[in-house]
Structure 1
Amino acid sequence: MRAAAVRLSLYPPPAVYRRHFACEVTFGRRHDALILRRRDLACPTIHADRAAFEAAVASIESRDFPRSPFHASVRGVVMHCVGTDQCSTTEVSRRPR
């Protein structure tokens, strides 16, 4: 990996990000991003373990994660729709939060 960019940097400390990603990490960006080398994308992938995948999905779906405040959820839906022909109050109200 060539570089990583993250929006927040308060926790964990920046050194943890740099150690984890093994590359330069910049903070305070508008979006999280990973900048990959062409050779990184050419790496073979490990064969999927269907049973492990299904167990992980079941475990995640069974947890009761805290929900974002309503206004934050709506903002996320609107940001996803901006610039498309589906950015209307009607379309936003139909989307799950």
Structure 2
Amino acid sequence: MSAISIYHYLIVAAILFSTGLAVAITKRHFVGILLGIELMLNAVNLNLVAFSRYDSDRLSGQLFALFVMVVAAAEVTVALAIVLRVYGHFKTVDPDKLDELKR
């Protein structure tokens, strides 16, 4: 049985990022789009931690991953607040039905 190399981490992260991108593009409501963005951010975190693991002299990858998690938490908080305000005003969370925001 062989050891897990960095290529395995990169392949899993690429699959995770591709899945997140597909979800963010194809979903028709804001919550699904947010879930796709979170999957993409988790793929980036996986890459950062994998690179940090194979460069044991530096911990910068893990610190960047922690920073990405903090930014993602703030992004979700702000985005969900916006979604709640949009739902309160338009009574829908379907992005295609929000034509007043295009003006």
**TM-score of Structure 1 vs Structure 2, range by shorter chain:** under 0.3
TM-score normalised per structure 2? 0.19
Name the one with the larger helix percent: 2
Name the one with the larger strand percent: 1
**Larger-gyration structure (1/2):** 1
TM-score normalised per structure 1? 0.20
